[in-house]
Amino acid sequence: MAVQRLSSKNQIVIPKEARQAMGVKGGDELLVVVKGDQTLVMPKPKRYARTLQGLAKGTYPSGYLKQERRLL
């Protein structure tokens, strides 16, 4: 894990290992998704629905949806 400092221009350097793992290079577009107190950075997808599918998994506790449906 690498620690990066935010520059005075609000920029960061993505470490080489992370760029290689994501398969990105200079000039590629990245998608930044904020989920609660976490921020995900990933290559810009060709199809957003497929990439974002499942990101909200675990947001609600087990059985929450069934409980909400019973209240209707």
pLDDT of residue 56: 79
pLDDT tens-digit series, residues 16-69: 999 999 999 999 999 898 988 999 898 987 877 877 788 778 888 888 888 888
Q: What is the DSSP string of 2-36?
A: ---PPPTTS--PPPHHHHHHHT--TT--EEEEEET
Q: List 38's β-bridge partners, or say none.
A: 35
| Contact in structure between 42 and 30 (CB atoms under 8 Å) | yes
- pLDDT recorded at residue 37: 93
pTM for the whole structure = 0.57
